[in-house]
Structure 1
Amino acid sequence: MTASSGPTPLQDPPPVDLGPAMAAVVQPLSATSLHAVHGAYAAGLITPVVIGDRRRFTNLLRGSGIEPPDWVFHDVDDDAAAADRAAAMAEAGDVGLVIKGNVKTHVLMRAVLRNRCSSEESGRLSHVFAIYMPEASYHKTLYVTDGAINVAPSPDLMEVIANNAIDLLQALGIQRPKVAVLSAAETVNRSMPSSVEAAVVCERISARADTLGPVALDVALSRDAASIKGIESPVAGAADLVVCPNIESANGIVKMAARQPGTTIAGLVVGGSYPIVLPSRGDSKQSQLASCALGRKYLAWSQYVARCS
């Protein structure tokens, strides 16, 4: 029997009062995405504004066992046009977040970038995976960045990516996250550029987080591995956040974790003026629902901070 996993965004107590948020949902044309969005709606997290092919959506709804919901609908049959509509609505403040349905990531993100007011005002976008796994695998939620958007970030961009993720963790109540910046070893080696870059990034974000880097993944997640290697750090074996040197390493960690029974993965784009729920089209209903919940909680904190500033 699989051990129960740790709290997911659906089980954690909300940091602030969470009423339903207006959410633009782009082409929820698979059974998984439809059920996930309906689940988030039923849980009171979102009020969906569906943007997509009405005929296909209606046909999908008929066979879903879901009572036809009273949602606002924008009938747009083309994926790029639907993504454009959603991004424009979010940029205008008509919706608080955008949820990716059965549309390719690059189509949605191109629309988001086209509709942004300015990169200076909005900041650099990056992606964070949240991995909720059985306690026997890891004792807390593990966040991984960036496994979906930024391919081979420079040290300057890695710093931005790390700070975006720290913003998210602080919004979720982890005020001083434990951050591991990955390489293949724990010493700076000029012939291994990722080790040099990891040390630079650790130094730059150290005012906001406990840091360890360069560091290999085993040390970040296992106190035993750290002890064997003689590494003493509050981050060793207890990382909240793993910052990866490239998209391949981050994506690989998440895909491997997803193979563990009882694991739920959520994905969110942060760093802009609104969060973007970005599950994989192959994710389970539970993972897609968790992504919606993560996005709603982050939006709540963003709104709270804006009111207090």
Structure 2
Amino acid sequence: MSAVQIEANTAPHAKYERLIAAARHVPPATTVVVHPCDETSLRGVCEAAEIGIIKPVLVGPLNKIKSTAARHDLDVEKFEIVDAPHSDAAAARGVELVHEGKGEVLMKGSLHTDELMRYVTATTGGLRTNRRISHVFVMDVPNYAETLFITDAAINIFPDLDAKRDIVQNAIDLFVQIGLGSHPRVALLSAVETVTTKIPSTIDAAALCKMAERGQINGGILDGPLAFDNAVDPKAAEIKGIKSPVAGRAQILVVPDLEAGNMLAKNLTFLAKADAAGIALGARVPIVLTSRADTVRARLASCAMAVLSADARRRLHPVPAA
């Protein structure tokens, strides 16, 4: 049975619903929400708190947060609010709270991603680890059986081979942490399926496969270069004569650069009507990066992934105060 046939027999959005249900079975994660000063971000926080998957700590202008909540009939009185005069100060204080061991998840509110990530990636006082920070879109695509990861489509513009190694490892780790299974199938995308010096991404793909063979990438099954069609469609892979455990059944798509990934994710969102939840990895804590265009379901799924990842980290490597 093909992936398309399998998905046709499942309920719409069932993939996200399973993630949200799983997050409700682990302890809620204390979540530092930076500058939640519009209806969309505050409503997302309230809904995630209401179903019991996060314990929010709101960081931003106290009066603005409360007035926004009152205007849209949202109850924030039960949440801790840390006053900060503006978005820049809120980003700085939010990162500080994580350093103080007062947050297991960091969540973007109504400020620009760059403004938050500037403090996250700061050399002094940031949340960097020895792993490159990268972004994963976790897609609930109608007519595709798998929960589909696309990485990196939001942070690393033109990643080199070392950065791609971390991008792949971050995605594999998340796949396992949120309970989707072990040894995910990772497709390293390019325009063609053969290695050629004319297309550098094919050489990177081949090198990443060798790195996995030598233990430099762990926990996944890698293949590439693969074009998008033969990464996700068994028939396309068969026509091309590609025999691989990944081809036609990919669970993680690693794109050559941010432009390709961003266009792929948005094509799936707006043409295939997929939901796209987003999370940044490789920092001291998972970072929920939502968009104003996100559906309620996608926002809850983003929180659910961060909570499941935080729970896995909590059990293995608790985040200490710096």
Same-fold call, TM cutoff 0.5: yes
Q: What do residues 227-277 of structure 1 show as CA deviations (whole Å, max 9, x unaligned)? A: 111111111111110111100111111111111465321111111221111
Which one-letter code corresponds to 2:190 in the other structure? S
User: Is residue 2:83 matched to residue 1:75?
Assistant: yes
Contact 1:144–1:243 under 8 Å retained in 2: yes
- For residue 148 of structure 1, the aligned residue among 137, 151, 154 is 154
1:285-304 → structure 2 map (5 Å cutoff): 285-304=296-315
Tell whether the 8 Å contact from 2:19 to 2:305 is kept in structure 1 after alignment: no
Q: Which runs of 4+ in 1 moved over 4 A?
A: 9-13, 115-119
Aligned partner of 2:147: which letter? T
Matched, 1:252 2:267: no
CA distance in 2, matches of 1:51, 1:12: 25
Task: Find the partner of 1:190 among 197, 212, 216.
Answer: 197
Determine the structure 1 residue equivalent to 2:175: 169
Indicate the residue corresponding to 1:18 in structure 2: 26
The answer to whether residue 42 in structure 2 is matched with residue 34 in structure 1 is yes
TM superposition shift of 1:291:
0.9
Query: How far off is 1:172 after superposition?
Result: 2.1
Alpha-carbon distance, 1:211 to partner:
1.5
The alpha carbon displacement at 1:13 in A equals 4.9
Contact 2:30 2:55 in 1 (8 A): yes
Deviates more, 1:174-183 or 1:47-56: 47-56
Where does structure 1 lack aligned partners over 5 or more consecutive residues?
none
- Deviation of residue 123 (structure 1)? 2.4
1:241 to 252, 264, 281: 252
**Cα shift at 1:22:** 1.2
Matched, 1:90 2:101: no
Contact 1:159/1:205 (8 A) holds in 2: no
Cα offsets for 1:102-134 (capped at 9, x unmatched): 111111011112254685x54221111100122
Distance in 2 (CA, whole Å) between partners of 1:11 and 1:181 is 25
1:77 to partner: Cα distance: 2.8
Identity %: 34
Alignment of 1:33-72 (within 5 A): 33-72=41-80
2:232 to 221, 235, 242: 221
| Partners of 1:33 and 1:285 within 8 A in 2 | no
**Counterparts of 2:265 and 2:235 in 1: how far apart (Å)?**
22
Query: Secondary structure of 1:7's partner?
Result: helix
More off after superposition, 231-240 vs 277-286: 277-286
| Letter of the 2:232 counterpart | L
Q: How many residues were matched structurally?
A: 304
> Relative to structure 2, which stretch is displaced further, 42-51 or 28-37?
28-37
Write the distance in 1 (CA, Å) between the matches of 2:156 and 2:273. Answer: 28
TM-score (norm 2): 0.88
Given the alignment of the two structures, is residue 232 of structure 1 paired with residue 239 of structure 2, yes or no?
no
Q: Which runs of 5+ in 2 are unaligned?
A: 1-9
Q: Secondary structure at the residue paired with 1:14?
A: helix
1:93 to partner: Cα distance: 1.2
Q: What residue in structure 2 maps to residue 210 of structure 1?
A: 221
TM-score by length of structure 1 reads: 0.92
* Farther-moved stretch of structure 1 (185-194 vs 57-66): 57-66
1:267 is aligned to 278
